Structure 1
């Protein structure tokens, strides 16, 4: 009976996993198929999942005609800088609130979290005026500062939660050896927090990589526009290039998939470590 129940449970788990995989991966494979189909096939009455014939014209269009590599470069610069600054500021803030004796730290955390709860549409106008007065429109720095302000609350909360699970004996032993608070963070806490840093950094990177509203409002030329804005620029009044958009979406998704696959072990460790407070 136990073996039959175990076999049934395994079958149900396998079926559930297949359903989740199909639900998550099917849109990606449909986009992949679309990116290799000709425009005539995409507008036919009977759609086909498999391209017939195959074509690379959409990838040629986005990189040769639409200069999509420039948008990719801009997104990589903005998202990379955003991730570095978010991790630096969020780690310092999370460490200070978790490991140092700061009065009213939970009130500070609540204030930090409340900042991130404002709808983007409600703050894009004031931030636009501020960026305009500071000559930050159509610059990398204007986007990076905005994304860091939006990403630091999440990073601070996640790192605070992780640091709070580490035993205080680590700090005490390091201070007995002459470490300053910053030395404790740099030499002791951060090296053992790599999984959490990787997980949090990836979340910050993906958020900056996919952000559209501020990138659309703050940039006006291809020199600083990011990938979401670049894809939006593909369309015109009378024509939507579905094949080019599908090809661009595949190209944009591949770096994120590679990052997740490369760091999957670190991501799993970051999500599970600290779940039990010692």
Structure 2
């Protein structure tokens, strides 16, 4: 009886999980399907998820737009530099917060994520104002700095979870053997944490790649516009080309899916370990 109940409960759980997952991925499936449909089929009165006539016209049109590769390159530059800085600064900050003893250490750890208490929309005007005063509008610099404002805290928070798992004796042994602080980090601690650090870097890259609000507000020309903001530029004034937009969305999201699939194990481990800080 107990075994039958366990099977029933497990089946009910996985059925509910499947339904929820299906509802969550349905918009993505519809978007990808739309990108392969001809225009007449997109606006059909009897829509279908699977295209009746498969076409690559939307992708051919997308690749014919000279600005789109520039958008992708800008996103790659901004997201990569933001992720690299977040990982380097995050490692040093997390190391200090775990292995250094100083007053206010616990308060700093608890205050790391307070940046997420403020809606991004409330920060757009002051950032735009100061960027304009400092002549930083429409530059990589302001995009990277704004990305770091929300990427760096989460990177430090995740790295704290990993550093908390390292036995303090390992760091002390390295110091006793003559290592400096930096040598202990790069020669003893980091080799143990490389998969976790890579996961944090990928997570920071994903956040930077998908940032939309600041990229749209702080870029004025196509020269520095990122892919997420570039999709907005692809919209027409009087008519929206849904095939073109869904094709662009598919191309932009595909690298993130590949990265997340490859590092999913470590990203999930980082998110769960971040909830058990000392």
TM-score by length of 1: 0.91
Deviation at 1:269, TM superposition (A): 4.3
With over 3 angstroms needed to count, the CA separation of the structure-2 counterparts of 1:166 and 1:204, relative to structure 1, is: same
Taking the aligned partners of 2:69 and 2:277, their CA distance within structure 1 comes to 46
SS at match of 1:135: coil
Taking the aligned partners of 2:112 and 2:177, their CA distance within structure 1 comes to 33
Match of 1:141 in 2: 141
Say yes or no: does 1:113 pair with 2:113: yes
SS at match of 1:148: helix
- Alignment check: 8 A CA contact 2:98 2:160 kept: yes
Deviates more, 1:129-138 or 1:78-87: 129-138
With over 3 angstroms needed to count, the CA separation of the structure-2 counterparts of 1:115 and 1:11, relative to structure 1, is: closer
1:56-96: CA deviation from partner (whole Å, max 9, x where unpaired): 11111111036322211111111111100011111111110
SS at match of 1:254: helix
- Alignment check: 8 A CA contact 1:195 1:269 kept: no
Deviation at 1:167, TM superposition (A): 1.5
Aligned residue pairs, count? 278
With over 3 angstroms needed to count, the CA separation of the structure-2 counterparts of 1:227 and 1:203, relative to structure 1, is: same
Deviation at 1:102, TM superposition (A): 1.8
Match of 1:56 in 2: 56
- Alignment check: 8 A CA contact 1:137 1:218 kept: yes
- Alignment check: 8 A CA contact 1:35 1:58 kept: yes
Taking the aligned partners of 1:195 and 1:255, their CA distance within structure 2 comes to 19
With over 3 angstroms needed to count, the CA separation of the structure-2 counterparts of 1:97 and 1:80, relative to structure 1, is: same
Match of 1:22 in 2: 22
Taking the aligned partners of 1:132 and 1:116, their CA distance within structure 2 comes to 24
Cα RMSD (Å) of the superposition? 2.2
Taking the aligned partners of 1:4 and 1:76, their CA distance within structure 2 comes to 52
- Alignment check: 8 A CA contact 1:194 1:266 kept: no
Match of 2:239 in 1: 239
TM-score by length of 2: 0.91
SS at match of 2:178: coil
- Alignment check: 8 A CA contact 1:99 1:164 kept: no
With over 3 angstroms needed to count, the CA separation of the structure-2 counterparts of 1:274 and 1:34, relative to structure 1, is: closer
Taking the aligned partners of 1:95 and 1:197, their CA distance within structure 2 comes to 13
Match of 2:202 in 1: 202
Match of 1:69 in 2: 69
Deviates more, 1:32-41 or 1:108-117: 108-117
With over 3 angstroms needed to count, the CA separation of the structure-2 counterparts of 1:118 and 1:268, relative to structure 1, is: closer
Taking the aligned partners of 1:276 and 1:215, their CA distance within structure 2 comes to 33
With over 3 angstroms needed to count, the CA separation of the structure-2 counterparts of 1:276 and 1:222, relative to structure 1, is: closer
Deviation at 1:216, TM superposition (A): 1.1
**Structure 2 matches for 1:112-191, cutoff 5 A?**
112-191=112-191
Deviation at 1:116, TM superposition (A): 4.2
